[in-house]
Amino acid sequence: MDTRQLPPLGAKVPSVAVPKGGGVAVARGELGLVKWLFAHFSGCFVPVLVVEDAASSGRLEILKFLLEHDAGRNCTHMRVKTPIGGENVVHWSSRSIVNAIEKGHKDIAKWLYQQVPHESSTDDIQMIVESSLAAGYIDLANLVLPPDRNILECAPFCPRPEIVEMALETAYFPLNKRCAVASIQNLARVGRLDLVQRIVQLFSPLLSPAAIDFDWTSCWYRSIKEACTRGDLAMVQWLLDHPVGRALCAEMKHNVSVNHFLPITAEADQVEVMQYLYQEEIAGQYTDALIRAVRNGHLNATKWLLQHHSYLGRVAIDSVIDEAAKNGHLEILKFFGIWIYLDKRQMHGGLDRAKR
């Protein structure tokens, strides 16, 4: 249907009466206004962006009305000349399905896929399946997926634990080692240590980077960072106790350019994990850790750092206090005032004892 010469629906409406016509009506969820536009204007088209906005906003009643009054509802939207009389035409798209999925409107996404006269391309199908899997809508992904396609092939790096479990139950990971290794970080992000252990078990002893064109150490580092940020002590312990984790820590001791785990953990105020790193003697970059804790207003992490490390040099402490002031963290400023006072008293007490 050739709709290129049709004006947008609402384009003829005075801006004072109905600003931006159909788009505003959809944005407000005003079905009555959409009906009024269709009743008073003909020979126009509804832009695809209006449909996509309706899908994003969950306006199923408006989408149904648009379909019922679409002059092209009985044919797929191909660019062929078709007599349309004085009716209006709706421009549909696969992007509207993805928008609905991303906003959590699974039922609307399913309705759009099954009902509207739009033929999704191979790339469209891929996009819809990837979005469905990322949202955890496995049943919707299976509905859209062609019979000759494997759902795992459509989203090899999908972070959902359900997809990882599906891959573990098949021979997919042994044949796709890069995807298996990349899944470890995704699982660390959601605390699925059980699935991390199952993946690692598949490749024990771990293959060298040359064998899989992927560096285990880089993945391991990012996974530990995720676990530190979440305060997932069990995940941190397991990853660091593993030979890859131990080798990583040994390398970090000689590489000051890499962010150590203590600053990352302090930034997230995960004191329990900070204590573990300290006990295992793998804590480092204390000044950076203190600055991050103060910058984010984490009083617990700040107290812990000052109790477990001697911060020498007035300049370093001044810069940390400036960081607290700059970010408006009054509680930390108060604490530093008390801490400096007590520190001075302790220092003078030591001098007095030395004089005696």
CATH code of 98's domain: 1.25.40
User: What's the pLDDT at 26?
Assistant: 63
User: What's the pLDDT at 315?
Assistant: 46
Q: Are residues 228 and 281 in the same domain?
A: no
Q: What is the DSSP letter of 158?
A: -
Question: How far is C-alpha 136 from the geometric centre of its chain's CA atoms?
Answer: 13
Does residue 133 fall inside a structural domain? no
> 3-state class of 46 per DSSP?
strand
Q: Which domain, by its residues, includes 206?
A: 156-251
User: What's the pLDDT at 266?
Assistant: 96
Last residue of a domain, one of 210, 231, 251: 251
**Chunked in runs of 10, what are the mean pLDDT values of the chain (356 residues)?**
47 36 61 80 80 92 89 59 61 93 96 90 90 90 86 74 85 78 90 94 67 71 95 97 91 79 96 96 89 93 90 67 84 75 43 34
pTM comes to 0.69
Last residue of a domain, one of 119, 139, 167: 119
Does residue 2 fall inside a structural domain? no
Count: domains in the chain? 3
Does residue 7 fall inside a structural domain? no
How is residue 140 written in tokens? Answer: 């919707």
Q: Are residues 233 and 271 in the same domain?
A: no
Q: Are residues 325 and 289 in the same domain?
A: yes
- Report whether 214 contacts 253 (CB < 8 A): no
Residues 6+ apart with CB under 8 A from 314: none
Q: Are residues 231 and 276 in the same domain?
A: no
State how far the Cα of 28 lies from the Cα of 239, in Å rounded to an integer: 50
Does residue 46 fall inside a structural domain? yes
Note the maximum CA span of the chain: 107
